[in-house]
Amino acid sequence: MNQALPTLTLKDFASDQEVRWCPGCGDYAILKTIQKLMPDLDTPKENQVFVSGIGCSSRFPYYMNTFGFHTIHGRAPAIATGVKLANPELDVWVITGDGDGFSIGGNHMMHVLRRNVDLQILLFNNEIYGLTKGQYSPTSQIGTRSPSSPTGSIDSPLSPCIVALGSGSTFIARSIDTEAKHLTQVVKRGHDHRGASFIEILQNCPIYNDGIFEQVKDKKIAPDFRVEVAQGEPLKFGKDQEKGIVLNRDSLQLEVVAAEGNEDKLLVHDESNKIQAQLIAAMGGPDFPVAVGVIYREEKTSFIEDVQAQVETARSSKGSLEKLLNSGHTWEVD
């Protein structure tokens, strides 16, 4: 049955629900990008499932005309694991935020990544709790003033990509809410990946943390503050690609150098190099540009494939209830 899928468009993936994010929220852009790329994915619409936790980003499934489950705070990875275990044919997405995915749900995130469950995990990172009105989150920078940290937050933030790497994630990428083209490419690669794909999307909250990613988003200055990594390409950035990244082999630290004259020394991006991924994922201001793109990728069988293999082995001869009940020691009473 090599039947072609019906041709769908963005509209087929937009639900009839009124979108209720704040005006100017980065989530609108992400929603549009995902709706737009859905028809290109080689998956029937009825097999698409969006699972989310709690928070602004977690309203996402309501706006997709697919199957959707808006669940409880932090637990989307666990629920999505159950969905995928129950029906491996489904194409399952997890929509989460920095608070949902790395504070209350940090444990599930760690385990879903190490297990390599076949899911696309989109982390909308706005470095703030939006839905509860602006408290600092586990990714907020030190000194963030918020209703719960009136004189500035004192906890160190975590880096989602670094935690994902430490958890054994096999696909780690970073992109930006309003960069539709880049985000589309990254998400499509994540979708094609076998196992869990973890995609951090830097997302602006215009109400509680406006402009936090301005440096990497503002077209005028962004070239100096972000580097787009691509497999096999040297790490160059700046308006005229005049700067580059090299690895100081004595200190095992990265350094920013002038690209010119250093071409043969520039770090060449290798998605399969975990140590390098660690260094690249950690890059950020003020001394380094933020890396966007696919930072790390590893070929590995997925959790669901391994589970299926065991189940299939067990079911090579179908269970008989009669046989089960009469198994082991039994005796007859006349």
| CA pair distance 153, 249, nearest whole angstrom | 36
| CA pair distance 125, 116, nearest whole angstrom | 21
Q: Is 296 strand, coil or helix?
A: strand
Using CB under 8 A as the binding rule, whether residue 43 contacts other proteins is answered as no
Closest approach, Cβ 87 to other proteins, in A, equals 5
For residues 139 and 157, the answer to whether their CB atoms sit within 8 Å is yes
Using CB under 8 A as the binding rule, whether residue 68 contacts other proteins is answered as yes
Residue 119 structure tokens: 């899911």
CA distances from 110 to 118, 202, 203 (A): 14, 20, 22
* Window of 22-30, 154-162, 294-302, 323-331 that interacts with other proteins by CB under 8 A: 323-331
* Total chain residues near other proteins (CB under 8 A): 59
Using CB under 8 A as the binding rule, whether residue 45 contacts other proteins is answered as yes
37-74 burial, b at 16+ Cβ within 10 Å, e below that, comes to bbbebebebeebbbbbbbbbbbbbbebbbbbbebbebb
| CA pair distance 150, 320, nearest whole angstrom | 65
For residues 175 and 199, the answer to whether their CB atoms sit within 8 Å is yes
| CA pair distance 76, 277, nearest whole angstrom | 26
Closest approach, Cβ 36 to other proteins, in A, equals 18
Using CB under 8 A as the binding rule, whether residue 55 contacts other proteins is answered as no
> Which residues from 262-321 bind other proteins, rule CB under 8 A?
307, 310-311, 314-315, 317-321
Closest approach, Cβ 104 to other proteins, in A, equals 10
54/128 with CB nearer other proteins:
54
252/321 with CB nearer other proteins:
321
Using CB under 8 A as the binding rule, whether residue 67 contacts other proteins is answered as yes
Binding mask 108-147 for other proteins (x = CB under 8 A): x-xx------------------------------------
Binding site for other proteins (CB under 8 A): 15, 17, 44-47, 49, 51, 54, 61-62, 64-72, 75, 77-87, 89-90, 107-108, 110-111, 307, 310-311, 314-315, 317-322, 324-326, 328-334
